[in-house]
Structure 1
């Protein structure tokens, strides 16, 4: 990949005429049209990386009533909580150290949410691990390889499961945004555990959207943001800002993004361009995983 231009993963995935690698006016969280006043949002993986630098500050700037910060490290969560208070003194912040791969720990998280807020309106499944061994699948440690699924897939399911059960009814309007990766539909043999676990999360999103019509469920590829999960071979492509992901996630939490439910979105894509293509996207069943080929008995008759 050393011969690829630094914007390769922007232009090769381009779906809209305009693309971005930083926040822009249409997804500025301070835009009154994107106000999250009265909303309670749960953000996992909130102690570092995109969660701490992009998602949590964006939801605070958007005026959310409350933000529930979730990660395993309570000390780091406390630091993020303090920074949010300086961003928006009016936002209520609840930090809950949680192992999202453990059902009892997730149940405890939602018991705290219920006690403080009744229920949440938005769930952002951002927490993830990237456990790679040698890169050669036959040399992988099976337990290390499977750990990707424990967090990235099972964790996303447990959170979505509890989130929906905590709503006043399954038909209550709400939003789930699952952060995925372009590696979910592209093939990188050295990242098989991570990639396949995120493909499962992408399809979990589609099933949530199909099963709960009142729920907006969207899979978001955040682009390449410089975090401690970035592999060395991708570092020179890490030019996307955490603020881009934060602003876009706020926009995806608004009614403007309702038509994208069950679909995958890439952070670089211009949201105004997406809205212009709304009818094409919905009618053409675009931005969804499918099997390519000619199918049906009729082609052979």
Structure 2
């Protein structure tokens, strides 16, 4: 797929839903704001050893003053480095690094036992862990079955296992909580050049409308972070405008407050202005905006 002739802001405007859009952090999502403080809260970040986990979410929640930060990934040495960076930002945070393969049910259960022993329970879950092993230009007829399935093991099953354990560790069904699942614009429309990644991330995205209606105490949102300078960004996409980790991390902090509950069950993009979203709150709540659905004319009336 040739992206070279597209304007650099193509993906910034492709799914533009709000009048104002952003590529970098702006005042409304600055995690150091007093009204965005998350003092007393405990946050779990999966995929915390690199990428958005290390550069966006861990720093943002540290700046928001959380009480505890649980860092989950498979690389124990990299997790130690992230802990070190967190303490530079806020030395009062209690961190808990747990090397875990989230696709392993026993490993996830063990991780949550450690979380319970240390913090009793967590309040916020960032399902950031994910893999893209398609390779650039890996159309489905050429995909390796094992590499294809590994994406579903992590992006689908792993996200489910962590989410299930997180919900079950909440003290009551009324305890307020937040779940943010990282998705991708490729899951919204599909990407024939990354079919395994696109479809497996759709699994994580569609867990959100499965949570929101039956757990009204939880703000459950799928978040498309945009294009970021990580090792998962294909070379062919690197000439486009990219979002910063600070934008995505600050938005996650903003989503962890009661004002964002109207977005529960829905999917948003990091570029969208949160004040514009708030201005459209009634419109969003009353319709099917920001949900995945089938397009077409249905029902017998069309044949009358």
Instruction: Bin the TM-score by the shorter chain.
Output: over 0.9
CA contact (8 A) 1:226 1:238 kept: no
TM superposition score normalised by structure 2: 0.97
CA contact (8 A) 2:46 2:53 kept: yes
2:146 to 143, 147, 168: 143
TM superposition score normalised by structure 1: 0.98
Cα distance between partner residues in 2 of 1:290 and 1:154: 22
1:233 to 236, 239, 243: 236
Cα distance between partner residues in 1 of 2:159 and 2:225: 16
Structure 2: runs of 5 or more not aligned: none
Query: What secondary structure is seen at the aligned counterpart in 1 of 2:238?
Result: helix
Aligned to 1:111: 113
Aligned to 1:299: 302
CA distances 1:18-63 after superposition (whole Å, capped 9, x unpaired): 0000000000000111110110000011111111011100000001
Q: Runs of 4 or more off by more than 3 Å in structure 1?
A: none
CA distances 1:191-226 after superposition (whole Å, capped 9, x unpaired): 000000111111111101122111110000000010
Provide the aligned C-alpha RMSD in A. Answer: 1.0
Structure 1: runs of 5 or more not aligned: none
1:52 to 54, 74, 82: 54
2:38 to 36, 39, 53: 36
1:244 to 231, 243, 247: 247
CA distances 1:52-97 after superposition (whole Å, capped 9, x unpaired): 0111000000010111011100101001101111101111111110
CA contact (8 A) 1:119 1:167 kept: yes
Cα distance between partner residues in 2 of 1:227 and 1:238: 13
* Count of residue pairs brought into register by the alignment: 301
Does 2:271 match 1:268?
yes
Aligned to 2:156: 153
Cα distance between partner residues in 2 of 1:274 and 1:260: 9
Aligned to 1:15: 17
Cα distance between partner residues in 1 of 2:213 and 2:303: 32
Shift of 1:238: 5.2
Cα distance between partner residues in 2 of 1:284 and 1:69: 36
